[in-house]
Amino acid sequence: MSKQISAVEWYENRIFILQIQLEKKEISLGEYSVTRVELFKQAKAMENERVTEAYRIGRIGKSIKEFNETFKSE
């Protein structure tokens, strides 16, 4: 089973790699800046997906509970 990481951890790992590439002069400062912004946008989108999914799952659970309470046969 693989460990899932948060969007923040993912971003931190990617930025670390990007900084190493910059220090080794594998990428230019311009490429670093553009890539850093793109990585930030990706991390925001990942977090948004996680929150949306958590809300959806919570809403489904609440709907099932409400249904069971409303239509509970006694």
Q: How many CA atoms lie within 13 A of 4 on its CB side?
A: 5
Confidence of residue 73 (pLDDT cuts 50, 70, 90): low
Asked if 11 and 44 count as a contact pair (C-beta separation under 8 A), the reply is no
Q: What is the pLDDT of residue 37?
A: 97
Q: Which two tokens stand for residue 21?
A: 């590439």
For the chain, give the number of residues. 74
Q: What is the pLDDT of residue 2?
A: 60
Q: What is the pLDDT of residues 14-69, one digit of tens each?
A: 999 999 999 999 999 999 999 999 999 999 999 888 888 877 777 776 766 766 77
Q: What is the pLDDT of residue 29?
A: 97
